[in-house]
Amino acid sequence: MKTHTLLMPLDMHIHFRDGVMLQRVAPLTSYCFSGAVVMPNLVPPVTTLEALKAYKQRIKNAIGDGGEDLDEMSVDAFEPFMTLFYKNYDRDFLESVADEIIAIKLYPDGATTNSDGGVKNFDIEVMRETLETMSELDIPLCVHGESNGFVMDREAEFMSVYETLAQNFPDLKIIMEHITTKDAVDMLDKYPNLYATITVQHLLITLDDVAGGMLAPHLFCKPIAKRPEDRDALLKVALNAHPKVMFGSDSAPHPQHAKESCGCAAGVFTAPIALQVLCELFDKHDKLDNLQSFISDNAQSIYSVCPEFKEVILEESDFVVPAKYGDVVPMYAGKTLKWSIEEVL
């Protein structure tokens, strides 16, 4: 039987939420990943050192509990890489938290789930002290890159903001999070300090899959899936192990009632199936040897991290995606994937 081994898989963009949801989803990631960059958009958002340390401890407690779906599966060797919600922080504060965080996450106000209180006006001079200090302290800036314009154009319209940031702060490492467009892919090679994460779903689906027939609420996320040419551009750089892109699931759990409602919450839950889906996708395109770079090596280089050792052995055998994990419906619920996780060492 065909197998493939991944070393120290990393998810460089994930939502663990808090409370009961945190208890449910965190062990699903810690089982098969060595680390994950945890988003700070709780309610209220994580903006202080005390809140950050307390949240990290809650994550570790949730991982230690093991999760109901994992039985006796090992959840050792996992590091939650913590982030703060962007504000115009002063130097003293940034120096005090630099050793506790991997990055700071910037949200435009109201752009996505729990982003109220984000940046309303991208005034570079107002932001300069914070961003220059982040540059000096080597703290990356992760950005949810969308404007407030027409939904299909929001990411494309945000490219000018990325250019302004990249030009004004050339020593600041800027991560374009969950990119969805050919414009964003083209931007990667324009500035040396721009990098990107790409999700599972945006490598696979277009807007037609979300809303072309009956609405598929469990495929609805922000940024919304775009056109076939956008998906193909993302797929090209991921499959070919472009050194400036890395995997970030943007796995975003919501309870079933919040997804299957008239006010469908934005977010696709992929944490427990991401590695299996990626193996199938890269294998289909005869690029399986490049998956290690996309899933770990590029992130290690970009973020200068050395993750906990973990070896994930996948095999080409059927895996039926559970209908639900607790009250969270995953992407491809009930469908059969061609790859499964055989063992985690």
Annotated catalytic sites, by residue? Answer: 250
Q: Comparing C-alpha atoms, which of 92, 111, 114, 96 is closest to residue 46? A: 114
Side-by-side strand order, sheet with 3-7: 3-7, 311-315, 340-344
- C-alpha–C-alpha distance, residues 61 and 65, integer Å: 6
DSSP assigned state of 149: S
Omega within 30 of 0 (cis) for the link into 228: no
CA angle centred on 211, ends 206 and 216, rounded to 5°: 95
Q: Could you give the 3-state DSSP secondary structure of residue 281?
A: helix
Contact assessment for residue 182 and residue 155, using Cβ atoms and an 8 Å cutoff: no
Measured between its terminal Cα atoms, the distance across the chain in Å is: 19
DSSP labels, 25-74: HHHHHHHH-SEEEE----SS---SHHHHHHHHHHHHHHHHH--TTSTT--
CA 68 to chain centre: 24
Give the helix/strand (H/E) hosting 79. strand 79-85
Exposure on the CB side of residue 198, measured as CA atoms within 13 A: 35
CA angle centred on 247, ends 155 and 145, rounded to 5°: 20
- C-alpha–C-alpha distance, residues 17 and 22, integer Å: 5
Give me Rg for the CA atoms of the chain. 19
